[in-house]
A and B are shown apart, each in its own frame.
Chain A
């Protein structure tokens, strides 16, 4: 079991460019979560899928951020027109999705917007 896989591990973009982050959940897990971590805000929830359906996107910025889960083996987080304040470590987690279960985190993608 390779755990949750995230690619790329590091990404540098220029202001205004698009960034796409990838997450492969643990095989068999039906719930996928996205979080981000910054020094100022700490760890924040962004969005959550269960069985590929979006369940809760209450943490997603209303503009420029979108997330997809086209199949059970991967999810993407896309940031359009990136801004310096989007710089953060973006973390993906997965769980069995049965309720009251452990979330396992990937290594994160460190995004730097210049």
Chain B
């Protein structure tokens, strides 16, 4: 397979704080997708990137295919941001399958 490494495994933030999550992968990938899995287990799509940077509200993600990493930055953290954040990479030809990292468990405290 194509290992996907996520760091940190766990992160604790106070409301209003900001931090970044990182996803490293071993080979050049076609794209990366970031998800939040909430307390009900639902995978919520945050971003898909084939290159560059995308921003949506308090979230910002970058994808550097050449350097083999992606980041997800959360600013002004809110309680509802708590959950597990997964990155998943799409590689190879003729397949859209995603290979997931192990996730970062984010806890936002009041």
Contacts and interface: CB of A to CB of B under 8 A. Distances in A.
B68 interface: no
Interface of A is mostly: strand
B50 interface: yes
Contacts of B50: 100
B42 A48 contact: no
B99 A45 contact: yes
Contact of A56 (B30, B43, B95): B95
B96 A43 contact: no
Interface string A32-50: 0101000000111100101
B86 interface: yes
B56 interface: no
Contacts of A104: 45
Given A48-B96, A107-B42, A43 B88 contact: yes
Contacts, number: 57
A45 to B, nearest CB: 4
Contacts of B31: 100
A99 B96 contact: yes
B98 interface: yes
Contacts of A97: 96
A114 interface: no
Given A48-B95, A100-B50, A105 B43 contact: yes
Interface of B: 30-31, 33, 35, 40-43, 45, 48, 50, 86, 88, 90, 94-100, 102-103
9 contacts: A33-B98, A45-B99, A50-B96, A55-B94, A56-B94, A56-B97, A58-B97, A105-B35, A105-B43
